[in-house]
Chains A and B, each alone.
Chain A
Amino acid sequence: MKLSNKNVIYLICSLLTMVLILSGCWDNKDINHRLLPVSIGVKKVDDQYLVILNIPVPIDGSMETKIVSAKAETVSKAVDTISRNMESDVDLLHVKLIFIEKETAEDGINDIIAGFMRSRDVSPKALVAICDEDLQEFFNNIKINAEKKGLSTYNYFEKNAGWNPDIALTRVWEVFRGIHSYTHDVAIPLIRSGKDTTMDQIGSAILKRGKMVEQISSNETLLYNVFKGESGNGKMEVMEHATVMLLGSKTDNIGRLVNNDAHMESLIKMRVVILETKGEPSLNLIKEEINTLISERYNKLFTKLQENEADVFGMGQFFRNQIPRDELKNWRSDYFKNMKININVKIDIQNEGYLKTT
């Protein structure tokens, strides 16, 4: 159809009007009219949720931390209440951290996580952490310690800032996956406020189907990270004869089903640098020592996990093609619990330290 000039003009005009009328652009709020909380704390009190927001507020060139809280039947209602009482609109898009109180986590966080995933207010990439003390107190301590550094809670977990390989990094979507997957659970960092530092990490919480069932130490969390393939770079291991620094690691897993019993072969390859030695141990001795240390730790951790039937390593993933789906839902109780795990650690000493000058 060929349009006449007049019709083209009408068409353009009506399209322009539609763009203006239908875009809803008047609802856009400029960035300075939004409050951007970095972290959000959730705690269940009776039947209500207590929501605490940590909002960095720029005042005269420096960041100040503002803590606001509200109690309501649901998390979004509580956020809404805060938003109503604040001078700007609360925008959860920049939330990087979600703190959940330990008691709440032990009761199960399925509803909270599902809510975050559903509303999409909070990015699914936000990290989840469990707070091992009263949430209100925790946030107050953060405020005191983080004075003038509004982003310290966020930097603590940032890979290019304060993160360490023995802190678990678990995102909202991973927790959500853990709730619904037959074969995957997650570990979540366990945090409390520190005396001198903003936060102290005391280990990780094991979440099984959205419920906290067990607690593991920082050292065990390192294994969790190494197994997951997160960099373990820079982590020290102290042994009887030497101290080594971990440079990197890689894990190869083979899962086999023998007589309906799960068997797992894990080969962990680690690259290390020797930092300190006592006496003059041979390289083989050092390798042996690391090997024993790591395998022992792994075995201990696995026993703990098997007792709790929580598959944080996602071992079940390797059996997904071998177990029928209707049996897979019993993975945790039928298979994982009795799984045989054989861990081999292969150590590559890349550098004996910077002693030789050639």
Chain B
Amino acid sequence: MEQMVLDIKKALGGNDDFFIKRDYLLENEVLLLGLNTLIDITKTKTIFQKQSEGLISQGKTSETIFILMGELFEDDTKKAITSILEGKLIIYIENTKKFIIYEPVPKGLNRSIEVPSNESVIQGPSNSFTEDIDTNIGLLRKQLTSNKLLVHSFTTGKNQKTKISLLFINGVVDKELVENINSLIEKNKSMDISNLQSLSKMLGFSSWDTISKFNTTELPFHASQFLKTGRVVILVDQLPFALILPNLLWDMFIVESDRNFPFPIMITIRCLRVIGALIALISPGMYVALVAVNPEALQIELALSVAQSREGVPYPALVEVIIMLVVLELILEASIRLPKSVGPTITMVGGIILGQAVVEAKLVSNLLIIILAATTIANSTLVGAQSSLSIRLFKYINVILSSLFGVLGLVVGLVFISSYLASLTTFGKSYLYLNIGRKEQ
């Protein structure tokens, strides 16, 4: 065996799924190399034979046939190993040091295109991204048939090869933004990318940002609309969602499929989401402020009924709220973790235990249960898993400041949050831009 094959064997031979098979192409002896867990060998071989026979019958020379079969390389062991790991078939032509990277029939390791599991669509296209990056690009191309849609692909990672694609619409997008991202990916190509944290490290974002720099969506329809307004979409292989850069505040409140409703209804729905964000941020803090620090701000009737509902609660309002909020967060977290079949149980347990028993045991006031329910429901009106998590975190700032300074603290908390949001920028684009596309025009 030749040196190059030996080198490949040395690198990959420890794997039981690595194969070297002898075959013939024209009069040449060839070696087929690949991983049988990624390649459907039988089918690939059949197609390979048929293709070579067809080419032979046309009377092509072996040299042209090699080129037509796939990409031809010479003496590049590293490239060969990478290709094998990516699921390609290497056809090594003996005695020539040349090899062809052949596109095999892959094993069916991808799920089919399904409806999104985390973002539900009322009326609108409901294909969702899958793990396979090529399928995802295809989905986007289908949504957005335009010769201006450009795709830049990179393979990154030292130990783990990951394909990243950058999509944008030429002419709409800010060129500087694309250049920035391009050069950063190029610069940090050796980083291993498997999650958003490593990707934001690659793009040079601070790891202490509480608001994600990426807006994520599972829907090609939404991604394509973002592209049209001058955003950049990044797709990472094996991540079944698109990352939209830059992420803006207003994205928390808009869903592109809103536009399938009449205009007034769209406005109302969006207002509702803004109200939702405010309720989620304010209401627990407001409860603490009004109950513990500034009861004079309440109407007397309300003050008396609140006082009555808190009669016998053994701890201060702050502790009460924090305990219940933590329990609530636990339920939310648990319901993600739990298998679907057990999910309803937790709802029941949560609903009955928290709703009834806690109040009856006089551990918390029943007004608080209402506040918590309102908070959780309001929080869920926000668009995007990333944004609603940030809001979930921010409300604790308000709760603590309210417990110290009352209504004033609540306002200070809101000012603090607003100024934090205003301080965020992504590649020079402020988080508070309403629409960067329109700005460019």
For A93, the chain B residues whose CB sits under 8 A away are 295-296
User: Which residues of chain B from 172 to 230 have any CB-CB distance to chain A below 8 Å in the complex?
Assistant: none
Total of A-B residue pairs, C-beta within 8 Å: 66
Contact of B304 among A20, A23, A29, A63 (CB under 8 A): A63
Report whether B291 and A30 are in contact in the complex, using a CB–CB cutoff of 8 Å.
yes
Question: Which stretch from B242-250, B272-280, B306-314, B421-429 is at the chain A interface?
Answer: B306-314
Known contacts A34-B307, A56-B304; A91/B404 CB under 8 A: no
Report the separation of the CA atoms of residues A25 and B290 in the bound assembly, to the nearest whole angstrom.
14
- B25 adjacent to chain A (CB < 8 Å): no
Contacts of A56 in B (CB 8 A): 304
Are B292 and A32 neighbours in the complex by a CB distance under 8 Å? no
Q: How far is the CA of A217 from the CA of B291 in the complex (A)?
A: 43
Q: Flag if A94 contacts B310 (CB, 8 Å).
A: no
Contact of A32 among B310, B403, B404 (CB under 8 A): B310
The chain B residue with its CB closest to the CB of A23 is B404
* Nearest chain B CB to A144 CB, angstrom units: 20
Do B404 and A25 have beta carbons less than 8 Å apart?
yes
B312, chain A: closest CB distance, angstroms: 8
Q: Nearest-CB distance from B234 to chain A (Å)?
A: 29
Q: Which residues of B contact A63 (CB under 8 A)?
A: 304
A38 located at the interface, meaning its Cβ lies under 8 Å from any Cβ of chain B in the complex: yes
Q: Which residues of the other chain, B, contact A123 by a CB distance below 8 angstroms? A: 296
> Given A58-B305, A63-B304, A94-B295, are A30 and B405 neighbors across the interface (CB < 8 Å)?
no
Name the interface residues of B244-299: CB closer than 8 Å to any CB of A. 290-293, 295-296, 298
Interface string of A17-44 (1 = CB under 8 A from B): 0011001010011111010101000000
B291 touching A96 by the CB < 8 A rule? no
Which residue on B lies nearest to A63, using beta carbons? B304
A154 within 8 A of B: yes
Most chain B Cβ neighbours within 10 Å, of A29, A94, A154: A94
Question: Taking the complex as formed, is A316 at the interface, i.e. its CB lies under 8 A from any CB of chain B?
Answer: no
A38 CA / B303 CA spacing, docked (Å): 11
Give the nearest-CB partner of A27 in chain B: B293
Verify B300–A31 contact, CB threshold 8 A: no
Q: Which of A145-204 contact B (CB under 8 A)?
A: 150-151, 154
Residues of B within 8 A of A28 (CB): 292-293, 316, 403, 406
Q: List, in ascending order, chain A residues with CB within 8 A of B307's CB.
A: 31-32, 34, 36, 58
Q: Which of A20, A31, A91 contacts B292 (CB 8 A)?
A: A31
Instruction: Note all chain A residues with C-beta closer than 8 A to B306.
Output: 31
Task: Please name all residues of chain B whose beta carbon is closer than 8 Å to the beta carbon of A25 when the two chains form the complex.
Answer: 293, 403-405
B293 touches A94 (CB 8 A): no
B292 and A36 within 8 A (CB): no
Tell me, rounded to whole Å, the shortest Cβ–Cβ distance linking B430 to chain A: 23
**Partner among A23, A91, A96, A154 whose Cβ is within 8 Å of the Cβ of B295:** A91
Contact A154 B310 (CB under 8 A): no
A341 to B186, CA, bound (A): 90
Q: How far does the alpha carbon of A289 sit from the alpha carbon of B293 in the complex, in Å?
A: 57
Q: Does the CB pair A58–B308 fall under 8 Å?
A: yes
A151 to B298 CA separation, bound complex (whole angstroms): 15
Once the chains are docked, how many angstroms separate the CA of A354 from the CA of B306? 45
Query: Is A94's CB under 8 angstroms from B303's CB?
Result: yes
Output the least CB separation between A39 and chain B (Å).
11
List CB contacts (< 8 Å) of A114-129 with chain B.
Answer: 123
**Are B291 and A31 within 8 A (Cβ)?**
yes
A25 to chain B, nearest CB (A): 5
- The reply on B317 being an interface residue by CB < 8 A is yes
- Minimum distance in angstroms from B358 CB to a CB of chain A: 17
B residues near A36, Cβ cutoff 8 Å: 295, 300, 303-304, 307
* A31:B316 contact, CB within 8 angstroms: no
B401 nearest CB neighbor, chain A only: A19
Q: Which of A19, A30, A91, A151 contacts B301 (CB 8 A)?
A: A151
Can you list 8 residue pairs at the A/B interface with Cβ under 8 Å?
A25-B293, A25-B405, A28-B292, A28-B293, A31-B291, A32-B311, A58-B304, A61-B308
Given A31-B295, A34-B295, 19 more contacts at CB 8 Å?
A19-B404, A23-B404, A25-B404, A30-B291, A30-B292, A30-B310, A30-B317, A31-B303, A31-B310, A32-B307, A34-B307, A36-B300, A36-B304, A58-B307, A58-B308, A63-B304, A94-B295, A150-B304, A154-B300
